Amino acid sequence: MDHLIAAAIHDAKNSLSSLGVWLDKARGEHDSAALHHAADLAARVNAQLVELLALHRDGEGSLRMAVADHNLADFLADLQTELPPGAERVLQVSSAEALGEWAFDAYLVKFVLLDALRNALRHAHAKVKLNAVIEGGTLHIDIDDDGPGFPTIVLQGEQGAMNAHSSGLGLVFARTIAERHRSPDGRHGRIELSNPKGARFRLVLP
Amino acid sequence: MDLRGKTGLLIDDVSEMRNAVRIQLADAGIQSCDSVRNVKEAVVKLTARRYDLVVCDYNLGQGADGQQLLELVRRNTLLPLTTAFLMITGETGYEQVSTAAEFAPDDYLLKPFTSDVLATRLSRILDKKEALAPIYKHMGAKGDKALALAACDKVLAEQPRYATDVQRLKGELLLALNRIDEAQALYESVLQQRATPWAAVGKARALAASGKDDEAKDGLQQALAAYPNYLAAYDSLAGLLQKTDKAAAQQIVEQALKVAPSTRRQRQLGSLALENRDFSRAEEAYKRAVDKDRTGFFKSFDDYAGLAKSCSEQGKTQEALAAVKDMGVHFTRTPELAAHQAATEAEVQLKAGNTAAAQAALETALAVCKDANLAPETALAVAQACFASGRTNEAKTIIQAVAEDHHENDEVLAQAQSVFSAAGMQSEGAVFLEATRKRMVKLNNDAVAMAKAGQLDEAVTMLAEAADRLTNNCQVAINAALAVLMQAQKQGPTPEHFAQALRYILQARKVNADHPRLGEVIAFYRKLAPPGTPPIPEQ
């Protein structure tokens, strides 16, 4: 059964990948807002499947982090190219040029941040800020929005807090991926949620 | 970085993908691009010319993958460090691509991707290659590591954006130059800023190099707990464990194989399992090595020989002989092949109790060994077969010749030691090899001392005799050339001096073009040679 789950997710991902190719082709022939949204939706479903697969493998003990150095400025620049349409109007990214490199699993962390960014963009009034800083031997990546903030139940760590927009999968995934980032001296990553003004999603990586 | 005018090589076994990526490369500005389907064609292209960048799909069919190809061409120096290597992969291959082995791609890209993304990534890598070029210049086959190290400091000051890459190169260079304390200090200073796998493994390697094996092992275990995908850590740890605990080393190699498959690691596993007398596991590993690689570029004689031995040890004589035969099917007919086949067959027949057949095969192996100038691994395989048949003196004669030729090469000496150990002569072998090594060192030292004391004629006589006898010893040939040139300098140069010196220089270069002292003697030759002297031919 476990094997079937992984195989089924892979199949679905392959189909989505084909769907993406067709959508690209359609947009090449005649672009429209509807196709744009369809493509974005396909990307979101793909992201959910990536998260599901990672969690499944984590449960089986076969999730291996691919930790390597990445230039933070390049990484954040690449991230923005994958955001949904219109995001550039609201997103402010502080310069990470001076931060240099950090060691993390760029593939999985990208999905953590994309999910958090989508969430922030959905709830923001006018502005979302993406900011990376290095503090005391750890990397903080903050996503701040100027919306109503996280509901109390989410702040209290209720992971299964479902609503119309979210199954809670994204947050479970984010916490798992953060926690699986370890340093040889035994520190590990975490997610911190707070409401300083709007909502603040913070990924802390050792 | 403007990509126009850059030259590229595209490697992908699927023609639709090749066409699609080729169009994307053209969109990115790269008009001049060769594309090939497989490892063989890639090796041909890379041998013929150099490219600015290589774009390679991870999955190459025929049991080959881009990572193994990368290792092959970087090891053989077919792919200079200045050439960028971008791996493309589907999501399922990404875990294997992002494993940071000893030879890692400069970047990898997940399919599907747009032309824009491809262009961004390529120009990023090429910018980096350009910034690091002053270091790479001194890191090639004929490079000078000390100059490379000096270039590191210069680039570090001028290009702070690439500080991490320069620090990594610097650490590698310090380790290679045996400046262990400085290497350790560098890795520790990086680790004080942040945790990162390459510095954790680098520090462990520095500890191991200064004899602190236990601390090194602890460090690597901790690194692997945090970075389970970091193949370089498995390789270092297996290397350390191999010295004391072969069962534990075998386990680590098994784990590494779960992270990423590779013919080289299957071979390593097979060899460890053989030594651990875990014959069914050895058979399995060698079988994978010979079956999986259908290109023939990654497997070796050892894979078939190992398969034959592991079958033979389990009483499967027919399978073992089939493996010996297969070796002949998969490799070109050369003396190396003939010697390997005959030596392996001798051991298999002996184990099966067929004394006459064993002896006939061994005679064949010995005849080839006598006639041809065999690679050290091949000669040692023949020596091992001699030991197995109780022909100890012949085995020792072969090993002595190998050790005299390669007395500076620790890897060859370790292989020779393991042939002794396999024959149950561990301590006798250690004494024998150490004595041979010391004799060679003494020969060189004595001759150099004589030359320094002004007894040049005696030094030349002694070294020329040694160089003419030990034609595969690089250091002896270099010293012989130096002594002849010193003689020329002191007694007035004659054409004979230069002819003799040139012969020894070429002899040394044929054995090891990378020998650290070869550059010195070539420079001396050029300095002394009057106009009209034959120049040293380019390689």
Give the residue from chain A lying closest to B195, CA to CA: A183
CA angle (B361 as vertex; B357, B364 as ends), nearest 5: 145
- pTM: predicted TM-score of the whole model, two decimal places: 0.87
- Test A65 with B229 for CB contact under 8 angstroms: yes
Of A3-7, B421-425, B494-498, the one with minimum mean pLDDT is A3-7
**What would the two tokens of residue B72 be?**
């092959």
Residue to test with chain B: of A16, A22, A67, A187, most B Cβ within 10 A: A67
CB B380 within 8 A of CB B416: yes
What is the DSSP secondary-structure string of B86-98?
EEEE-GGGHHHHT
Give the residue from chain A lying closest to B197, CA to CA: A68
Position A17 scores a pLDDT of: 80
What is residue B47's three-state secondary structure? helix
Q: Which residues of chain B make contact with A50, given a CB cutoff of 8 A?
A: 91
Position A16 scores a pLDDT of: 86
- Test A107 with B227 for CB contact under 8 angstroms: no
State the CB neighbour count (10 A cutoff) for residue A46: 18
Alpha-carbon span B96 to B58, nearest angstrom: 9
- Test B230 with A185 for CB contact under 8 angstroms: no
Task: Report which DSSP code applies to A146.
Answer: S
Alpha-helical regions (H) of A61-96: 72-80, 87-90
Position B519 scores a pLDDT of: 86
Instruction: Determine the CATH number of domain B441-528.
Output: 1.25.40.10
- Test B226 with A102 for CB contact under 8 angstroms: no
Mean pLDDT across B42-71: 94
Position A127 scores a pLDDT of: 93
Mean pLDDT is highest, among A81-90, B336-345, B456-465, B518-527, for: B336-345
The contact set of A with B (CB < 8 A) is: 10, 13, 17, 20-21, 50, 64-69, 74, 78, 81, 100-103, 105, 107, 134, 137, 139, 182-185, 187, 206
Position B539 scores a pLDDT of: 65
pLDDT tens-digit profile of B456-478? 999 999 999 999 988 889 999 99
Alpha-carbon span B36 to B139, nearest angstrom: 28
Q: Is the peptide bond between B112 and the residue preceding it cis, with omega within 30 degrees of 0?
A: yes
Position B103 scores a pLDDT of: 87
Task: Report which DSSP code applies to A168.
Answer: S
Q: How confident is the model at residue B344 (pLDDT cuts 50, 70, 90)?
A: very high
Parts of chain A with a pLDDT under 70: 1, 158-167
What is residue B11's three-state secondary structure? strand
B147/A40: higher pLDDT: B147
Position B310 scores a pLDDT of: 98
Residue with tokens 């890191």: B139
- Test A67 with B226 for CB contact under 8 angstroms: yes
Q: What element of type H or E holds B186? A: helix B180-193
Domain-wise residue ranges, chain A: 2-60, 68-205
Alpha-helical regions (H) of B331-425: 335-351, 355-371, 376-388, 392-405, 410-422
Q: Give the ipTM of the model, two decimals please.
A: 0.90
pLDDT tens-digit profile of B22-35? 999 999 999 899 99
Architecture of domain B1-136: 3-Layer(aba) Sandwich (3.40)
Mean pLDDT across B208-230: 96
Instruction: Determine the CATH number of domain A68-205.
Output: 3.30.565.10
The amino acid that residue B218 corresponds to is D
pLDDT tens-digit profile of B118-144? 999 999 999 999 999 999 999 876 778
- Looking at chain B from residue 86 to 145, which residues have their Cβ under 8 Å from any Cβ of chain A? 91-92, 94-95, 98-100, 110, 112, 116-117, 120, 124
Q: Which residues of chain A make contact with B110, given a CB cutoff of 8 A?
A: 107
- Test B124 with A182 for CB contact under 8 angstroms: no
Mean pLDDT across B323-341: 95
Exposed/middle/buried for B479, CB within 10 Å: 0-12, 13-18, 19+? buried
Alpha-carbon span B127 to B125, nearest angstrom: 5
Residue B299 pLDDT greater than 60, yes or no: yes
Q: Which residues, 6+ apart, have CB-to-CB distance to B136 below 8 Å? A: B80, B81, B82, B129, B148
Q: What element of type H or E holds A120? A: helix A106-123
Q: Which residues, 6+ apart, have CB-to-CB distance to A156 below 8 Å? A: none
Q: Which residues of chain A make contact with B227, given a CB cutoff of 8 A?
A: 65, 67, 184
Instruction: Report which of B416, B346, B327 is spatially closest to residue B377, judged by C-alpha positions.
Output: B416
Closest CA of chain A from B200, distance in Å: 8
What is residue B38's three-state secondary structure? coil
Looking at every residue in chain B, the average pLDDT score rounds to 93
Q: Which residues, 6+ apart, have CB-to-CB distance to B327 below 8 Å? A: B301, B304, B305, B308, B337, B340, B341, B344
Position A163 scores a pLDDT of: 55
Position B272 scores a pLDDT of: 95
Phi-psi region of B211 (alpha: psi -120 to 50; beta: other; left: phi over 0): left
- Test B164 with A102 for CB contact under 8 angstroms: no
Domain-wise residue ranges, chain B: 1-136, 441-528
Tell me whether B236 touches chain A (CB under 8 Å).
no
pLDDT tens-digit profile of B241-259? 998 999 999 999 999 999 9
Q: Which residues of chain B make contact with A64, given a CB cutoff of 8 A?
A: 95, 228-229, 259
Q: Which residues, 6+ apart, have CB-to-CB distance to B404 below 8 Å? A: B436, B439, B440, B470, B473
Residue B412 pLDDT greater than 60, yes or no: yes
Position A159 scores a pLDDT of: 56
Position A194 scores a pLDDT of: 94
CB B290 within 8 A of CB B307: yes
Position B327 scores a pLDDT of: 96
B319/A20: higher pLDDT: B319
Alpha-carbon span B348 to B361, nearest angstrom: 10
